[in-house]
Structure 1
Amino acid sequence: MGSAPIMTVFVSLLLLCSSSLPQPARSLPVCTDMRAPVVLNVTLKFCRDDGGASCCDAAADAALEAQFKAIDVKPADGECARVVKSILCSKCNLFSADLFDMGSMPRTVPLLCSSFSARDSSQPEHQIYNNEDYCGQVWKHCKNTVMSNSPFQTSAPRKGGLSGSSSMLTDFWQSEKDFCVSLSGIPNSQLVCFNGHGVSFNTRKNSSPAPNGICLEKIGNGTYLNMVAHPDGSSKAFFSRQDGKIWLATVPEQGRGDGLQLDETIPFLDLSTEGHLGSDLGLEAVAFHPDFINNGRFFVSYICDGTQSSNCAGRCSCDREVGCDPSKLGSDNDVVPCRYQLLISEYSAKGSSSSFSEATYADPSEVRRVFSMGLPYVPNHAGQILFGPSDGYLYILTGNGGIRGDPFNFSLNEKSLLGKILRIDIDELPEMNEVGNKSLWGNYAIPKDNPNTDNSNLRPEIWALGLENPWRCSFDSLRPFHLYCADDGQEQYKVVDLISKGGNYGWSGVYEDQHVQYPPWAVQGTKLTNGTIFPIMGYKVPSTTKSASIVGGYVYRGSADPCLYGRYLFADMYSSAMWTGTVNTDVSCKYTSASIPLSCSEKTPLPCEGSTNSPLGRIFSFGEDNKQDGFILASQGVYRIVQPSLCGYACLTDATSKQAATSVSGGNQGLTTVMKVLIAVASVLIAGASIYFAWRCFCNNSSICCNDIETIQVTNNTTTRGDGPSATATKPGDVELAVTTRPAEHRAR
């Protein structure tokens, strides 16, 4: 008992000197149209704002006012009119994509904060949104009010004969409970709800104790670049490698002690003769059609060599339209411009419409050449492809082409497809006039809601721009309108972006403050910085480190580690350093990230053989199965995130903390008097030594624990290191990467 205050003092002092404060960065949430909020230069007339960012511009504000007038709530200045106006204006909220549940069927009314917990009326009632029951207020003030074209009708359980006519809430719902169960969704599974004036966060879904380590088990010895869960929802998954081979595997249940069931002698598909077998080229990604179990369609992205295959051909991305002349580029390690092509091809699994989920191999014949683009240089080609979980469109990641400083401004040039995230429709075939008029780069159509569809001078495939070399993007499985992308900056900054429709992420030069000497023949366009969206997380590479490269992961939604739930995982390829990041559960829209140690489970099916400094070897990619368990694909093998207790880590959730408290309170029972005395003496000695070292660290800046610790402050879009007037300014999202110097090699992705 007597040692508890001493240990509290020790912990407080140690945190003061050894904790590099988590780095918050300004995040931009997503609006209902998938765009980022805009900073207004005018005050909205109807949905009045505080002058900050909003999901509504003046035109959207006027449209909401017209909708309100058409609803014709009477009296116009009554309580129900006030409620209806606040509900309509919630579309301007920064979290409107969450409020209107854009990951499923879009709603006309936001998720309302409610005291009713589930659609099933048999469930017990309890409040989870800070005891706010806005839905009850809506029912109270509007249940008997007549409305025309009521926004509530689309959520009503019965609409017979009333659609488009005047109606009251009591025409559709019999009680407040029926109404709120229908309008609040299932609050236990939602992240936010609308409280009448803003957003309330569901602390059960958004908050968890900070993890103090990630526990892994090794389930495979193979080296792979991609892992994709089988679309049939089973325990199967596909793994691929850059040599052009794809395998079908079965992922074992956690706790069974089994390894990955994968036979490399029997590939699902072998394209080894199609790609270029190099350390930085070859098969880049695999994406399965959302309806794969019925149509067997899947798509492969790979780099081919035009000198090795006559089937490897396409237009060069360095052309007159973007002010680039291939003849003036010169060679890249004796490789002429556009010798290598980024190809996306469609293939089909062998099977029938009733058995594609059971198919064990695919037809190696290409069904369709979807996309082809010649690369001006070898590195920085990216190449990942993935389907949007909500819209079913194919997203393509491209790098900026590889030359230092991007002298042709490829990334920001909206006539170029380099340094972009592209979005195409592979289900609709383009008309011949569309191929000619839009000068498409393959056999695909353009989604009608892409940001550039109305501008014939800009590339219609572009979804977002201003990226350097995005390496691994992923959609949050719970918030499928949130697309996270890791972007491998050229110099010191490695960042994570939250991608939005039409977003400009600022490469090149926005983060690096580069002073590049452009060659005289380069047509250097104006660097667009207005409206630049800054990264939400990232790290800064020390100048002594010769190799560093960010690897994007997933928002962890698995059940093995409750403390990781809702946190985005990312890593550095060469150091095996890893970070977790999460958004604050308030309206600040800021993310914090922190480095986290890795350990191998004592019950791992296969032994972990990495070194102390790099336990996994190089981290190439992350994976996620149909249970949302997290995986790491590294040079030492395949690893899965498991229960933290298997590595001695604690995750004190509400349940485990109570159990731990019970164990501690009763832990000394049964010990002999001698043992109790020895434990007490040892506790005092340890506490005394800890206080001594903490005091030296805090007061004398001892190198024992205070070496190279910096305080990080954030003000808007500028990060300041230090406390005094001499503090130096850096960019948002910085976290120092503490790694040992690596050989001068860099995987030119």
Structure 2
Amino acid sequence: MAGVLTLIFIISCLNLLLSHRCSSHPLCTNFRAPFTSKTPLSFCQYNGSICCNATEDLKLRNQFKSMNVSVSACASVLKSILCSRCDQFSAELYRIDSAQRTVPVLCNSSISTSSSQSQAKVDYCAEVWDKCHNVSIINSPFALQAKGGIQINTTSKLTELWQSKGAFCDEFGGASDDGATCFTGGPILLNSSENISPPSGICLEKIGNGSYLNMVAQPEGSNRVFLSNQAGKLWLATVPEQGSGEILGIDEPNPFLDLTDEVHADAALGLLGIAFHPNFQQNGRFFASFNCDKVRWPGCSGRCSCNSDVGCDPSNLSSDNGAQPCQYHSVITEFTANSTTLNLSLVTQIRPVEVRRILTMGLPFTSQHGGQILFGPKDGYLYIMMGDGGGSGDPYNFSQNKRSLLGKIMRLDIDTIPS
């Protein structure tokens, strides 16, 4: 499920990128928007909106040094090519909508350049060949692309891999026939007379490896958020300042809460929802919605998801994916941030001790559970979403029956529930 959402996010970004090739919009190779650095880069001389921070700039410097290029003219163009990853249009230059490249598309005089660049004929690809074709380059990015990304530890020359300038530029040059961007040796700038309209739709950013199901902001309004995965772990993360170029900071080895001993994770089972009490800063109350297996975890118990008068006698339901009806349960549980600190915004970890059970409900099948939980922004109620419990087409009409809690949104007056 998380993988599908991640794929949708990436496709959305690529659709926006591809639909605006003639009037390119800045985008970095990591699918992030360019940012303005507070300090200038020391190696790659890019200013304004860029796609590299100081750490990435240092990495490019070290890569350049490791090539050990002895000819200054060739060294100059190689430095420009490496630093093109810092360009605000690096996603275009490296064609992230297809296979990742190790070298940007080099402008070739045989094809007109993009509207985002000078309309003059530019043959930068030929310039690279002329200056570097007979120069030894250690771990050449050209060789890496030619070999499909396989690491090459030996020194190589362009003439050892391509027989002519034409053959070299057939692989690395061009790409202006469709209005796309190519590299001329320096930063790509929009023409001042060009009127760029914003892209339609939205572009969502991939976080981590796509394994998180929920993201909830910490209630006090700081830059801290909580991310949970399906297996039952919840992490505290720090969102970087806008425009800083930094990545989301997650301490993977040390989760804020670990419920993997209680949670049963499978294709459609797991930790499905998290919610903080609106007064979390004062009371430390925290809620989780997850699935459990009564066979594996004795604490997973409760009545069947629908009572007998609506036809949910477990003995009358067929098994599903090897599971018996009511073997798995949906559980809404309250936890507390047990800590000696008085400032709960500084709490980094809580013990997985259940304070009280809000709801336990057996499930007739192994899919379609819902599980999202949210606090109303003004009324203080906890809203609980439930799917229809599975089965093709809701065969027992659980969603349509008001006696069943399946296929419903429930609302609790949370502060008056007895402890």
Among 366, 375, 398, the alignment partner of 2:354 is: 366
Unaligned stretches of 5+ residues in structure 2: 1-196
Cα 1:405–1:235 shift into 2, 3 Å: same
Q: In structure 2, how many angstroms separate the alpha carbons of the residues matched to 1:219 and 1:395?
A: 26
**Residues 605-624 of structure 1 deviation map (CA, whole Å, 9 limit, x = unaligned):** xxxxxxxxxxxxxxxxxxxx
Query: SS at 2:234's partner residue?
Result: strand
The alpha-carbon deviation at position 322 of structure 1 amounts to: 1.6
**Residues 188-221 of structure 1 deviation map (CA, whole Å, 9 limit, x = unaligned):** xxxxxxxxxxxxxxxxxxxxx9852434555534
**Residues 557-614 of structure 1 deviation map (CA, whole Å, 9 limit, x = unaligned):** xxxxxxxxxxxxxxxxxxxxxxxxxxxxxxxxxxxxxxxxxxxxxxxxxxxxxxxxxx
Contact 2:304 2:312 in 1 (8 A): no
Show the counterpart of 2:331.
343
Q: Which amino acid aligns with 1:368?
A: R
Show the counterpart of 1:319.
307
Show the counterpart of 1:334.
322
Cα 1:342–1:351 shift into 2, 3 Å: same
**Residues 618-641 of structure 1 deviation map (CA, whole Å, 9 limit, x = unaligned):** xxxxxxxxxxxxxxxxxxxxxxxx
Cα 1:217–1:399 shift into 2, 3 Å: closer
Show the counterpart of 1:293.
281
Matches within 5 A, 1:244-393: 244-351=232-339, 354-393=342-381
Q: Which amino acid aligns with 2:322?
A: D
Show the counterpart of 1:412.
400
Contact 1:303 1:343 in 2 (8 A): yes
Show the counterpart of 2:215.
227
Q: Which amino acid aligns with 1:322?
A: V
**Residues 653-690 of structure 1 deviation map (CA, whole Å, 9 limit, x = unaligned):** xxxxxxxxxxxxxxxxxxxxxxxxxxxxxxxxxxxxxx
Q: In structure 1, how many angstroms separate the alpha carbons of the residues matched to 2:321 and 2:290?
A: 21
Query: SS at 1:427's partner residue?
Result: helix
Instruction: Identify which of structures 1 and 2 has the higher relative contact order when contacts are C-alpha pairs closer than 8 Å and 6+ apart.
Output: 1
Contact 2:306 2:403 in 1 (8 A): no
The alpha-carbon deviation at position 426 of structure 1 amounts to: 1.8
Q: In structure 2, how many angstroms separate the alpha carbons of the residues matched to 1:400 and 1:428?
A: 28
Show the counterpart of 2:229.
241
Contact 1:219 1:258 in 2 (8 A): no
The alpha-carbon deviation at position 255 of structure 1 amounts to: 1.2
The alpha-carbon deviation at position 320 of structure 1 amounts to: 1.2
Q: In structure 1, how many angstroms separate the alpha carbons of the residues matched to 2:212 and 2:317?
A: 33
Contact 2:268 2:368 in 1 (8 A): no
Q: In structure 2, how many angstroms separate the alpha carbons of the residues matched to 1:402 and 1:210?
A: 42
Contact 2:306 2:406 in 1 (8 A): no
Matches within 5 A, 1:572-587: none
Show the counterpart of 1:402.
390
Contact 1:252 1:258 in 2 (8 A): yes
Query: SS at 1:376's partner residue?
Result: coil
Instruction: Report the TM-score when normalising by structure 2.
Output: 0.51
Q: In structure 1, how many angstroms separate the alpha carbons of the residues matched to 2:370 and 2:240?
A: 31
Contact 1:285 1:384 in 2 (8 A): yes
Cα 1:357–1:312 shift into 2, 3 Å: same
Q: Which amino acid aligns with 2:378?
A: S
Show the counterpart of 1:437.
none
**Residues 226-253 of structure 1 deviation map (CA, whole Å, 9 limit, x = unaligned):** 0000111000000000111000000011
Contact 1:237 1:250 in 2 (8 A): yes
The alpha-carbon deviation at position 318 of structure 1 amounts to: 3.5
Show the counterpart of 2:413.
425
Contact 1:294 1:353 in 2 (8 A): no
Contact 1:319 1:326 in 2 (8 A): no
User: How many residues align structurally?
Assistant: 223
Query: SS at 2:282's partner residue?
Result: helix
Q: Which amino acid aligns with 1:304?
A: C
> More strand by proportion, 1 or 2?
1
Q: In structure 1, how many angstroms separate the alpha carbons of the residues matched to 2:312 and 2:205?
A: 49
**Residues 96-121 of structure 1 deviation map (CA, whole Å, 9 limit, x = unaligned):** xxxxxxxxxxxxxxxxxxxxxxxxxx
Contact 1:220 1:259 in 2 (8 A): no
Query: SS at 2:388's partner residue?
Result: coil
Q: In structure 2, how many angstroms separate the alpha carbons of the residues matched to 1:228 and 1:217?
A: 16
| Percent identity over paired residues | 58
Contact 1:315 1:373 in 2 (8 A): yes
Q: In structure 1, how many angstroms separate the alpha carbons of the residues matched to 2:302 and 2:369?
A: 15
Query: SS at 2:309's partner residue?
Result: helix
Measured on the aligned residues, the alpha-carbon RMSD in Å equals 1.8
Q: Which amino acid aligns with 1:402?
A: G
Cα 1:219–1:315 shift into 2, 3 Å: closer
The alpha-carbon deviation at position 323 of structure 1 amounts to: 2.9
Q: In structure 1, how many angstroms separate the alpha carbons of the residues matched to 2:257 and 2:408?
A: 29
Unaligned stretches of 5+ residues in structure 1: 1-208, 431-442, 444-749
The alpha-carbon deviation at position 353 of structure 1 amounts to: 7.4
Contact 2:341 2:347 in 1 (8 A): no
The alpha-carbon deviation at position 324 of structure 1 amounts to: 2.9
